[in-house]
Amino acid sequence: MISRRERMILEAVVDAYVEGGEPVGSRTISKTGLGISAATIRNTMSDLEEKGFVYQPHTSAGRIPTDHGYRYYVDHLMSSGTLMEEQAEKVRDQILAHIREGNVEDILDQVSRVIADVSHHLGLALSPRFEQGTFRRLELVSLTDRRILLVLSIQSGLVRTMAIEVDSPVDPTQLAETAQALNERLSGLTVGELKESAHERLQEVRRGDPKLLRLMVDETVEMFSQSHGEDLHMGGAGNIFLQPEFHQDRQALRGIVNVLEARDPIVNVLESRTEQDVVAITIGNENRSVPEIQSCSVVTSPYRIGTASGVVGVIGPTRMHYLRVSSLVRFVARLTEELVRERA
């Protein structure tokens, strides 16, 4: 149980520490206009420490919020808010100014960069989950007589390519007929329908190479099912190095760098959030599925394109302006949906 006074002091400690980055003492809090004496503030801060909301890094220092303190702040003290109109327009203009090709991947690349630039943290954008998509079109391009490029697109605008080796030379006419047959029979199927009924749907097909048809279906299902590290767009990785918390904890910094290079652990974290309808915030040790980022907070918001879902967000130290960052990622998620729809 936490009293009204304790809530006021905790909120003031979090706000002051996020802004200044230094342990917060009673004198600092007494200057915030709460109308509480320094002695009462000291006693209240001691009570908060006993309850696990703040801690004292050393005897003569002020207090710093714990992960538990930040969690209480986010759940009970932080107001809800939206991005100011002026900043929203600035974010939109920054993204639009740097979009070159206008496809989904290009948009997400710029989204991650702008999130990083505005938040001063690591910006993230995960492509819509390919396996949630609806089959749109398949193209087969002959690279050599035994090597074929499979180009697969889904209705969200995502495109995947894969080079495939075949046992014997393929006639260009048969290649074109095979692609046409696949598109006629499979277009509009979800990945679940594709996995369950693709071979059955092709049994009555009389055009194309039967062996090639089966091979292409198998490769298409495999492509739908794969998780790709390149689906993760990251911007502003250098922002991690600028955070004073990590100047003092090189081991934590090395762990973060290693997991960012590996990519897949971050992809897994983000993929687990694609079905959520709200901004998700995990703080410090709540990120236990990836131990290397337990000194960080992860703030994400999902976006949806047709039947497929992706995520945008940030990774930064637990000393984060949570309201500002959550408002940013919420706005950018909606903007991402809008930009992709306009270019679909």
298-308 pLDDT per residue, tens: 999 999 987 78
- Structural domain including 257 reads 85-128+232-342
Residue 118 CB contacts under 8 Å (≥ 6 apart), including other chains: 87, 90, 91, 94, 328
The number of distinct structural domains making up the chain is 3
Burial status of residue 193 (CB atoms within 10 A of its CB: 0-12, 13-18, 19 or more): middle
pLDDT digits (tens, 9 = 90+) for 11-67: 999 999 999 999 999 999 998 888 899 899 999 999 999 999 999 998 878 999 999
Contact (Cβ atoms closer than 8 angstroms) between residue 299 and residue 326 = yes
Asked if residue 315 and residue 331 are part of one domain, the reply reads: yes
Asked if residue 190 and residue 238 are part of one domain, the reply reads: no
Q: What's the rounded Cα separation, in Å, for the pair 191 and 160? A: 14
Q: What's the rounded Cα separation, in Å, for the pair 333 and 91? A: 12
Asked if residue 256 and residue 214 are part of one domain, the reply reads: no
Torsion on CA atoms 16, 20, 26, 27, rounded to nearest 10: -110
For residue 194, the number of C-alpha atoms closer than 13 Å in the C-beta half-sphere is 28
Average pLDDT over residues 186-195: 77
- What pLDDT was estimated at residue 113? 97
pLDDT digits (tens, 9 = 90+) for 276-326: 888 999 999 999 999 999 999 999 999 998 778 899 999 999 999 999 999
pLDDT digits (tens, 9 = 90+) for 115-152: 999 999 999 999 887 777 788 888 989 898 888 898 88
Write the CATH number for 66. Answer: 1.10.10.10
pTM of the shown model: 0.84
Q: Which two tokens stand for residue 117?
A: 């630039």
Write the CATH number for 177. Answer: 3.30.390.60
Asked if residue 243 and residue 117 are part of one domain, the reply reads: yes
Asked if residue 307 and residue 267 are part of one domain, the reply reads: yes
Q: What's the rounded Cα separation, in Å, for the pair 341 and 190? A: 19
Q: What's the rounded Cα separation, in Å, for the pair 60 and 63? A: 10
Domain-terminating residue out of 204, 224, 244: 224
Angle between helices 250-262 and 264-271 (to 10 degrees): 80
Of the candidates 342, 334, 344, the one whose C-alpha atom is nearest the C-alpha of residue 91 is 334
Q: What's the rounded Cα separation, in Å, for the pair 154 and 26? A: 58
DSSP state letter for 99: -
Average pLDDT over residues 254-258: 93
pLDDT digits (tens, 9 = 90+) for 78-92: 988 888 899 999 999
- What pLDDT was estimated at residue 125? 97
Asked if residue 332 and residue 186 are part of one domain, the reply reads: no
What phi and psi, each to the nearest 5 degrees, are found at residue 145? -70, -15
